[in-house]
Chain A
Amino acid sequence: MTAAAPRTVRSLLLLAPLLVFLLAFFVWPLFSMMSQSVSDTAVLRLLPRSAEVLAGWDRTSPPTLPMQQALMEDLRAVDDDQALGDMVRRLNSARSGFRTLMGKTTSALGDTDNPPADLVSIDKRWGKPEFWLAIADALSPLTDRNLLAALDLGRNAAGEIEHLPADQSVNSVILVRTFWIAALVTFFCAAIGYPYAIIAASLSGWKRDLMLAAVLLPLWTSLLVRTAAWFILLQEQGLINDLLRWLRLIDAPLPLIFNRTGVIIAMTHVLLPFMVLPIYSVLITIPKNLMPAAASLGAPPLRAFLRVLLPLSLRGVASGGLLVFISAIGYYITPALIGGPGDQMISSIIAFYATGSANWGMAGALGVVLLVATLLLYSVYARLSADEPGRR
Chain B
Amino acid sequence: MPMKLAKTAFATLTILFLVAPLIAILPLAFTSSVILTYPVPSWSMRWFHELFFADAWRRAIVNSLIVGTGTTVLATALGTAASLGLRNRVVLFRGAVRTLFLLPMVVPAVVLGVGMQVLLARFGLTNSYMGVIIAHTVVAVPFVVVSVTGALAGIDERVELAAESLGAAPATVFRRVTLPLAMPGVLSGAVLAFATSLDEVVLTLFVAGPNQRTLARQMFSSIRENISPAIAAAAFLFIAATLLIGLAVVLSRSVLAKRR
Contacts and interface: CB of A to CB of B under 8 A. Distances in A.
Interface string B73-95: 00001110110111110110000
B251 interface: no
A33 B101 contact: no
9 contacts: A8-B90, A214-B19, A218-B22, A232-B232, A237-B35, A332-B108, A351-B113, A371-B111, A392-B153
B106 A367 contact: no
A259 interface: no
Interface string B108-140: 111111111111001000000000001101100
A89 B195 CA distance: 43
Contact of B220 (A28, A192, A217, A333): A333
A187 to B, nearest CB: 16
Interface in B209-245: 216, 219-220, 223-224, 227, 231-232, 234-235, 238-239, 242
Interface in B178-228: 195, 198-199, 201-202, 205-206, 216, 219-220, 223-224, 227
Nearest to A37: B114
A11 B91 contact: yes
A217 B23 CA distance: 11
A337 interface: yes
B141 interface: yes
A367 B219 CA distance: 26
A238 B119 CA distance: 43
Nearest to B218: A224
Contacts of A347: 108-111, 202
A36 B198 contact: no
Interface in A19-44: 19, 21-22, 25-33, 36
Contact of B199 (A13, A223, A232): A223
A385 B188 CA distance: 24
Interface of A: 4, 7-8, 10-19, 21-22, 25-33, 36, 192, 195-196, 199-200, 210-211, 214-215, 217-218, 220-233, 235, 237-239, 242, 269, 272, 326, 329-330, 332-333, 336-337, 347, 350-351, 354-355, 360, 363-364, 367, 370-371, 374-375, 378, 382, 392
Contacts of A269: 17-18, 21
B14 A374 contact: no
Contacts of B43: none
A147 to B, nearest CB: 14
Q: Which of B18, B84, B109 has the most CB of A within 10 A?
A: B18
B255 interface: no
Nearest to B14: A196
Contacts of B87: 11
Q: Is chain B's interface secondary structure helix, strand, loop, or mixed overall?
A: helix
Contacts of B246: 220
A329 B108 contact: yes
Contacts of A336: 224
Q: Is chain A's interface secondary structure helix, strand, loop, or mixed overall?
A: helix
A364 B114 contact: yes
Interface residues of B, number: 79
Contacts of B61: none
B38 to A, nearest CB: 6
Contacts of B227: 231
A265 to B, nearest CB: 9
Q: Which of A11, A17, A19 has the most CB of B within 10 A?
A: A11
Given A32-B119, A218-B22, A370-B111, 10 more contacts: A33-B118, A224-B201, A226-B22, A232-B28, A235-B36, A337-B224, A370-B108, A374-B107, A374-B111, A382-B99
B78 to A, nearest CB: 4
Contact of B82 (A15, A31, A228, A360): A15
A86 to B, nearest CB: 15
B242 A220 contact: yes
Contacts of B11: 196, 199-200, 211
Nearest to A373: B108
B109 A332 contact: yes
